[in-house]
Amino acid sequence: MTIDQTKTRLPDDAAPRPREPAGSDADALEAALADMTRAFSSDFVAGRVGERHNTYQHRTRVLRQLSGQLATLREREAAGH
């Protein structure tokens, strides 16, 4: 059995980036969204998106939904709730 090394992530890409502790739910969501966006971009550039089913459509939908949730949380924070 041979392992195709071109489809494996480099250790840098797979490891989560260390971050400061999140101060609020919006900060935690923003950090998660940044990590997911970075992973998606890395996978897209490496040609790993769309290999099974339609991962591009699913992942972009998730990123859009999380961006919308983050905007709502930020608006609530700005309003003082």
pLDDT single digits (tens) 6-31: 555 554 555 555 555 557 889 999 99
Domain count, the chain: 1
> Quick one: tokens of 39?
């992973």
What's the whole-model pTM score? 0.63
Count, residues in the chain: 81
Query: Angle, to 10 degrees, between the axis of helix 55-79 and the axis of helix 25-45?
Result: 160
Flag whether 17 is in a domain: no
Task: Provide the residue range defining the domain that includes 72.
Answer: 23-79
pLDDT tens readout for residues 51-70: 776 788 889 999 999 999 99
Flag whether 1 is in a domain: no
